[in-house]
């Protein structure tokens, strides 16, 4: 038997940056866990905007090529390092994509999203668009009963981002008006459901009829078309001129500026992502006169990921899955997300792994 052949596995790797970038299905060495690491057999991995940025070298983080992208991993533990106590081979797990040290000031108080030594799975190190992924054991959360791999891969990055925004960085009170930008996106589709569960009345936006329909279906009472430049005025009309208490914003650029026009006095915008622009003009006068808040949100804490999966198990948070692509169709999946033709999440599923007898 040729050990060199079966000890290798398939990974779909980015080999040159671009939009589209250049990918290649490659044989890579089988990962060997260090003492605190685990090897997870990937069952499903969500595609996110961060993958498009990594593809196009659009992140303020240098990426060493070749790189296996993909941070939203659900899978089964295959092998564990000698010091790993929290999981065993065969466990079904989700991986927290913002890898954290577990020891710094922020990690010790449960704010892993603020880790001083944080790294991004699929950016700083090889991610889940592969048959197997090597991660620190502390980043795993066991899947609760009833949460399938696909549901986990559709919720653990985008859904827990929304959970962090709505329950950690900001808060929602019963009867609040919440505006969720981009209700058919990964973050938006989860944010609508979370806000609704917390007792809010939800307004959302969607650029196509299908996206607006999905946002409605997920619980938004009103869904506006952002192509209409008057959409912030519509928000004021719906709320009887008062404006909303909270905006969940993940687009940035001009959209963020317009969100201030939708805010009630004392209202809050919580923002992440900035997919449409990272620099925005900012008028301080109405900001302090109306006592607005603008809150940054990044990634998630372990508690947010745990809550996301528990909500999924309880049926309070349902994944919105657009489509599932096999590993070798990644360029088509990236193109679909790039063209914003997506309702919910795109998932990537690896081939069946090559067995020893092959
Ligand atoms: Zn840390």
pLDDT of residue 73: 97
Q: Ligand 1: distance of its center to the CA of 207 in Å?
A: 38
pLDDT tens-place string over residues 117-160: 999 999 999 999 999 999 999 999 999 999 999 999 999 999 99
3 pLDDT higher than 50: no
> For residues 226 and 182, what is the distance between their CA atoms, to the nearest angstrom?
9
Measured in Å, residue 226 CA sits from the centre of ligand 1 at 39
- CA–CA gap between residue 231 and residue 242 (Å, rounded): 15
Mean pLDDT of 290-296: 98
* Of 150-154, 298-302, 350-354, minimum mean pLDDT range: 350-354
Q: Which residues contact 48 (CB under 8 A, 6 or more apart)?
A: 71, 72, 157, 158, 186
Q: If you measure from the C-alpha of residue 59 to the centroid of ligand 1, how many angstroms do you get, rounded to a whole number?
A: 21
3-class DSSP assignment, residue 130: strand
**pLDDT at position 76 over 90:** yes
* Residue 106 pLDDT grade (very low, low, confident, very high; cuts 50, 70, 90): very high
Judged against a pLDDT cut of 70, whether residue 353 lies above it is answered with no
Q: Are 166 and 195 in contact (CB under 8 A)?
A: yes
Say which DSSP state 339 is in. Answer: T
* 356 has a pLDDT exceeding 70: no
In the DSSP assignment, the letter for residue 169 is: I
Residues 242-286 have pLDDT tens digits of 999 999 999 999 999 999 999 999 999 999 988 778 889 989 999
Categorise residue 149: left if φ over 0, alpha if ψ from -120 to 50, beta otherwise.
Answer: alpha
- Residues linked to residue 94 through DSSP beta bridges, in sequence order: 74, 141
Distance from the alpha carbon of residue 75 to the mean position of ligand 1, in angstroms: 24
Q: DSSP for 28-89?
A: EEPP---TTEEEEEEEEEEE-HHHHHHHTT-SSS--PSSEE---EEEEEEEEE-TT--S--T
Confidence of residue 354 (pLDDT cuts 50, 70, 90): very low
Cα of 102 vs centre of ligand 1, distance in Å, is: 5
The torsion angles phi and psi of 325, rounded to 5 degrees, stand at -115, 140
Reported pTM? 0.92
From the CA of 299, how far away is ligand 1's center (Å)? 13
For residue 72, the CA-to-ligand 1 centroid distance in Å is 20
Residues with CB under 5 A from ligand 1 (ion): 100-101, 104, 107, 115
Q: Tell me what the mean pLDDT of segment 228-243 comes to.
A: 97
Q: How far is the CA of 302 from the centre of ligand 1 (A)?
A: 12
Q: Specify the pLDDT at position 276.
A: 79
Give the confidence band of 2 by pLDDT, cuts at 50, 70, 90. very low
- Contact status, residue 269 vs residue 245, Cβ threshold 8 Å: no
Q: Ligand 1 centroid to 113 CA: how many Å?
A: 8
Query: What mean pLDDT do residues 284-305 have?
Result: 96
Run of H or E including 265: strand 263-271
Its sign, for the CA torsion 162, 166, 172, 176, is negative
Average pLDDT estimate for 95-120:
97
Q: Positive or negative CA dihedral for 216, 336, 120, 10?
A: positive
Report the distance separating Cα 87 and Cα 166, nearest Å: 30
CA of 9 to the centre of ligand 1 (A): 31
User: Is the bond leading into 297 cis (omega within 30 degrees of zero)?
Assistant: no
141 membership: H or E segment, kind and range: strand 140-142
Which of 54, 96, 56, 55 lies closest to 74 in space, CA to CA?
Answer: 96
The CA 209 to ligand 1 mean position distance, Å, reads 43
In the block, tokens 């804490």 appear at: 301
Mapped onto helix, strand or coil, the DSSP state of residue 114 is helix
**At a CB cut-off of 8 Å and minimum separation 6, what does 184 contact?**
206, 210, 211, 212, 214, 215, 320, 342, 343, 344
Q: What is the pLDDT of residue 7?
A: 55
The Å distance, Cα 171 to ligand 1 centre, comes to 24
The rounded Å distance from CA 169 to ligand 1 centre is 18
Q: What is the DSSP string of 223-259?
A: EE-TTSTTHHHHHHHHTTTS-EEEEEE---HHHHHHH
pLDDT of residue 275: 77
- Read off the pLDDT band of 352 (50, 70, 90): low
Question: Ligand 1 centre from 112 Cα, in Å?
Answer: 6
Rounded mean pLDDT, 104-113: 98
Q: Residue range 90-107: average pLDDT?
A: 97
Centre of ligand 1 to C-alpha 270, Å, is 23
DSSP at 328: G
Pair of tokens at residue 241: 């001129």
Span from the CA of 283 to the centroid of ligand 1 (angstroms)? 35
Structure confidence at residue 241 (pLDDT): 97
């Amino acid at each position: 038997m040729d050990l060199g052949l079966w000890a290798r596995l398939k990974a779909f790797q980015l080999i040159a940056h671009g939009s589209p970038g250049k990918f290649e299905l490659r044989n890579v060495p089988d990962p060997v866990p260090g003492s605190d690491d685990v090897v997870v057999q990937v069952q499903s991995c969500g595609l996110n905007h961060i993958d498009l940025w990594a593809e196009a070298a659009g992140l303020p983080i240098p990426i060493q090529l070749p790189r296996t992208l993909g941070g939203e991993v659900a899978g089964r533990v295959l092998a564990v390092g000698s010091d790993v106590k929290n999981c065993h081979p065969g466990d079904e797990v989700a991986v927290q994509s913002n890898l954290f040290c577990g020891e710094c000031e922020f990690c010790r108080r449960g704010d892993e999203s603020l880790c001083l030594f944080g790294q991004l799975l699929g950016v700083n190190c090889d991610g889940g668009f592969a048959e197997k992924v090597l991660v620190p054991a502390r980043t795993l959360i066991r899947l609760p009963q009833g949460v399938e791999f696909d549901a986990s891969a559709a919720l653990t990055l985008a859904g827990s981002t929304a959970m962090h925004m709505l329950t950690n960085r900001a808060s929602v009170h019963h009867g609040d008006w919440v505006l969720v930008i981009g209700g058919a996106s990964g973050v938006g589709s989860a944010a609508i459901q979370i806000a609704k569960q917390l007792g809010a009345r939800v307004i959302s936006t969607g650029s196509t009829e299908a996206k607006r329909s999905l946002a409605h279906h997920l619980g938004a009472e009103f869904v506006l078309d952002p192509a209409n430049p008057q959409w912030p005025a519509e928000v004021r009309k719906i709320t009887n001129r008062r404006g909303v208490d909270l905006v969940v914003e993940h687009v940035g650029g001009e959209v963020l500026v317009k969100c201030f026009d939708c805010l009630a006095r004392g209202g809050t915008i919580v923002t992440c992502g900035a997919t449409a622009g990272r620099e925005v003009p900012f008028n301080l006068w109405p900001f302090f006169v109306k006592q607005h808040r603008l809150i940054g949100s990044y990634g998630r804490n372990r508690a947010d990921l745990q809550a996301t999966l528990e909500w999924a198990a309880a049926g309070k948070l349902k994944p919105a899955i657009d489509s599932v692509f096999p590993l070798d169709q990644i360029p088509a999946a990236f193109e679909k997300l790039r063209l914003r033709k997506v309702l919910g999440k795109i998932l990537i599923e690896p081939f069946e792994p090559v067995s020893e007898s092959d």
